[in-house]
Amino acid sequence: MNTKDVKLLETIVRSHVTNSHQLKSLLHFSTRQITYSIKKINDELSFHGLSLIKRSNSGEWLYEANDLQKLLVSMNQAMLIKEGATPEYVNDDLAYGEVRRYSELLFILANPQKVTTQKIMEFIGISKNTTRNDLSKIKEKLPLGHTLVFNPQNGFMIESSVPKYHILLLEAFNFLTEKHATINRFESLFFEDKIFVFAFIHAYEQTFKLKFSDNSLTKLYYLIGLSLASFKRRTKAHANFSYDLQELDEFQMIRNYIDQHYQHAETAIDYEWLTLLFLSFNTISNKFEMVDSKIYRVIMEMITLFQSKSAIRISNKEELTNRLMNHLRPAIYRIRYDLPFEMDNVVEIVKENHEVSAVLNFVKESIAPLETFLHKEIPETELYLISVYFCSELLNSSVIETQVRKKAIVVCSNGLIMANVMTKTLKEIFPDIQFVASSSVREMDKFVENIDLIFSNQPLASEIPLYIIQPIMNEEEKTRLRNRVLIDFSTNNISRETRNLTEIIRRYSAVQDEGSLQNDIEKFLISYANSLINLDRQSKQESKISFLELLVSGGIILVTEGNLTWKNAMELACQPLLEQQVIEKNYQDILMNQMADEEAYYFLNNRIAIPHSSPENGVIKGGCSLLISINPIIFPGNRPIHFISPFAIRKKENYLLAINQLLQLSKDEEYQQEILLCTTEDEVREKIKDFFKEEATCQ
């Protein structure tokens, strides 16, 4: 099996694919490629004594998911680091010219010994002509400030300033990992130092009470090792500090550790580069109490702005600030020093997840303090990452499960942010499962006792039922995953319940044909389980609702030209919600008290007020009203308001969707003015529908 075959197998397992059409939409493989790869996968399954992938008359694939997972685990284990050997089926990535040339570039950058044409040929496995052509293209495409040179003493080398050299090494490494190229071949460049590198990273984690995510740990291992190797051959020009990190505790620890345990002396700028690498990677856990008052104040300002822009009240800003400190700090160093780091699929998360998309808009409105602090515009991928973290915090609920039947852990190799996203998604898909922990692969053994099932984004060797999933799933993948889990556990339950029911019936009557009775009972229970799955699927599809849907499907719109006090206006806006039993009287009283505060956060820009509270304060069902006043209504804090929309929403996700739509409307004062010219409820309703139609088109 080659890398394409393994990728196809991994996609079937992760996305629970059941036919070639689904696979084409995910991988863009041709029918011929899929057929060929399935044949090779079946050959491998047969070799391992596992069940084959079969095709039904309807074109659906029939397979044992656990057997496919076992094969995937076996293939991944074959790709683990091996002394002096690279698995044959992963070498095909060097057939691609760009991947091959970046591999050659990294070989030159990080090689501690003299690099000759012959050594490149042997390392990559190519001819002399191909090597010469590649070196010519590498020289031609090097970024400004870098030069490929050759001299008899050192062979091929890249000449540049030390900081640019560091960044180029990182860029070459990132390119190869983003293309899923094989990187274990590069371990040979620092093979003598591999034990030191592992110990170095472990010492850092112990000192600063943190754990890097599995992906971060792997990348950090190679980058530290390759950097140390590059220091040995690179010209030791006297270099001053470049990154301005020497005052940090992390810098002092790294310098002291290398001085005590490593035989090769480095320049000051190299110590700083290693510090920067450690600082820039995401962690799965972090218990170190950092004292960084500047970053703390910046994050606190961001949260305050976020409250103001989103009309979301955060009850404990200090607690959220402390949590954000540990996870925004790596982003701050990446941005400050323009480090090109892969963002672990956050772009896909934002595109697939409506709640994160909504939070992204509020983050963009609140990011100014961080940009001022860094004197830089925040890159879009980092904005996405910050949005994912904000969203996971806002949607994190402390609901206690009272009738949990199964316990699960979520194992994620991409860090805490992605683990939180996976856990949130899984809680939505499986409200009847208790998710007791999120863990990295290397930490999962701490949690597996008394666990019924594991959800992971990586293949694992486990005796506990394992479900390999995509970190970001679309609705179809969620449905397939839920159905598979329900069927798996229903099958076990049904077999047991069938035996129990047969035993009960046998006690009270003479059973003529016990085998037929068991078959009939089992068919009934399977049919019943499938009906529950369908009902569950329908309820999931109906669970998301936005402001536009609330308003169009029964929201009350009132238009007034009177000169109202803010209290009169609030009572008028809430009255229909009371009459239609959307809210209790207590909910209105709470809203009135909240809006009396001059520093209340329940306003969007200049004209819109959105009074709302937690569902436990008196929400009976979802609903909203919209009061439009031609004349401004002056709220406490001297706010002139024309639109008041009290919300009664039971789910935080729906609130984020609704508030995001209103945020877009609040930015367009010209369109608000057009709405103020409407005289009837129907005119307003159509005008608002047209606005959101245009917004969707623009996006």
Whether the predicted pLDDT of 90 surpasses 60:
no
Unique residue bearing structure tokens 């900081």: 163
Query: Would you state the pLDDT for residue 402?
Result: 33
Q: Is the pLDDT of residue 532 over 50?
A: no
Neighbours of 695 (CB within 10 A): 15
Q: Which has the minimum average pLDDT: 157-166, 279-288, 430-439? A: 279-288
pLDDT at 59 over 80: no
CA–CA distance from 324 to each of 256, 289, 300, 417, 439 (Å)? 29, 12, 10, 11, 19
Q: What is the DSSP string of 299-334?
A: HHHHHHHHHHHHTPPPS-HHHHHHHHHHHHHHHHHH
Q: Do strands 453-456 and 466-468 pair parallel, antiparallel, or not at all (unpaired)?
A: parallel
Q: What is the CA radius of gyration of the chain?
A: 30
pTM of the complete model: 0.65
**Which tens digits make up the pLDDT trace of 569-599?**
999 999 989 998 989 999 999 999 989 988 7
Cβ(341)–Cβ(335) below 8 Å: no
In this structure, are strands 406-411 and 283-286 parallel, antiparallel, or unpaired?
unpaired
Non-local (6+) Cβ contacts of 75 within 8 A are 1, 6, 9, 44, 89
Q: Which residues pair with 625 in a beta bridge?
A: 556
pLDDT at 2 over 50: yes
Amino acid at 36: Y
CA 633 centroid distance within chain: 42
pLDDT class of 497 with cuts at 50, 70, 90: low
Provide the Cα torsion 79, 82, 84, 90; round to 10°.
Answer: 0
What is the mean predicted confidence (pLDDT) over 381-405?
62
pLDDT in tens, 402-423: 334 578 889 887 776 677 778 8
